[in-house]
Amino acid sequence: MPTNHQILLDNRPEGEATVSNFKQVTSETPALADGQVLVRHHFLSLDPYMRGRMNDSKSYAASQPLGEVMIGGTVGEVAESKHPKFKAGDKVVGMGGWQEYSVVDANQPGALRKVDTTHVPLSHYLGAVGMPGVTAWYGLVKIINPKAGDTVVVSAATGAVGSAFAALAKARGCRAVGIAGGPDKCKYAVEELGFDACIDYKLHKDAYSLAKALKAECPNGIDGYFENVGGMVLDAVLLRMNTFGRIAVCGMIAGYDGQPLPLANPALILVNRLKIEGFIVSEHMEVWPEALTELGTLVGTGKLRPRETVAQGLAAAPEAFLGLLKGKNFGKQLVKLI
C-alpha cells in the first residue's frame, strides 16, 4: 500500500488562522477490508466553511478534531477496490480530506460517488457541479424562489458559489447583480459569468456608500439576496431590499475569525417583512440530483464557465487556504495533488 502525505489540524487559531495551525505528516495507508476502496486524490477542494470548523466553538457543524486530517472534498481515481460497485480507474468524488490517499467505506451512503468526465472536467465536481454549485442552486431556488423579472444579488460573486449563481439566476429570467472585490473580478463576473452588473465593494468605505452603488445597479430594489459575507455588505443590501424580500444565508466569512458581526439596521427586517433563512446544503441531499443535472448541463453547454485557482501539491494547501479567506483566489480554489 502507498505512503500517504497528510495535513492535520495541529492547534486551534487564536483570531486569524496561520500556517502554524497545520502540520504535515507521513503515514502508511492501511490494507483494505471488504467493502473498502482506496482513492488516489487528484484535487482537493478548499472552502470557507473549513475556517469555522477550526474553532472549538458552537457552529453549524462539529469542530475539526485536533491531530486529525483536515476535512475537505476531493476528486480522484479508484486505485484499488474491495467493493463490487467500484473498480480501479473509476473517477470518484468524496470527502477524502487534506491528504493524497483515502480509504473509504463504500457501503456508507454518499461516501463515494462515481462521476462522468466526458463533458465535465473532474475538478469541476468540486465546484460548479459539486457542493458549491448545489449550494448556489438551493439558496436561489428553494429560499429566494425568484420569479422572472426579479432582481437577485450575491456577495463573493466570483467565488465557487457565486460563479454558479449568475447562470442559475439568468436561466430563471432574473436580473443578477454581483458584489466582488476588485476590478478584474467584476469584469470577469459580467463578461464571463453573465452577471448583469457587478459592484466592487473595495471602492466603498461604508455600508451607505455601497448601498448607493446598489441603488444604481438595482433601480427596482432587491428581491433576493444570497449572503456569503456578512458585515458591511449585509448592512448595505438590507438598505435596498424590497418588501417581502428573501435572504438566503450561506456564509458569514467576515466573522470567521471569531469577532461578532453587529447588524446596523435590524428594524429593516420587520419594516420590509423579510424572510431570512440560513441553510447547510448537506442537510438537503434530496435536491442534489436535480441540482447537479442542471449544473452539469450549464457547464456542458458553456453557459457556466467556472474559473479555478489551482495550488500545486499538498504542502501548498495551508497558504492557499489562508489566501482564500482573504479573497486572493479567483474562482474555485483547488489544490492539485497529482
CATH number for the domain that contains residue 194:
3.40.50.720
* 107 shares its domain with 164: no
CA atoms within 13 A on the CB side of 313: 3
Q: What is the pTM of this model?
A: 0.89
Count of domains observed in the chain = 2
Q: Are residues 67 and 168 both part of a single domain?
A: no
Domain that holds residue 242: 131-282
Instruction: Give the C-alpha separation, 150 to 226, whole Å.
Output: 13
pLDDT tens digits, one per residue of 287-331: 999 999 999 999 989 999 889 999 999 999 999 999 999 989 988
143 with 263, same domain? Answer: yes
Residue 255 domain flag: yes
Same domain, 68 and 197: no
Question: What is the model's pLDDT at position 60?
Answer: 66
Report the half-sphere exposure of 263 (CA within 13 A, side-chain side). 11
Residue 83's CATH number: 3.90.180.10
Residue 301 lies in a domain: no
With respect to residue 290, please indicate whether it lies within any of the assigned structural domains. Answer: no
Which 3 state secondary structure label does DSSP give 242? strand
- 202 and 275 housed in the same domain: yes
Distances (CA, A) of 313 to 7, 223, 250: 12, 42, 29
178 shares a domain with 35: no
The residues of the chain scoring below 70 in pLDDT are 58-60
Is residue 296 one of the residues assigned to a domain?
no
Residue 260: Cβ within 10 Å count: 5
Q: Which runs of E-coded beta strand occur in the chain?
A: 3-9, 22-28, 36-45, 74-81, 91-94, 101-105, 112-114, 151-155, 175-180, 197-200, 222-227, 241-249, 275-278, 308-312, 332-336
**Whether residue 201 is found in the same domain as residue 276:** yes
- Is residue 190 in a domain? yes
Residue type, 52: G
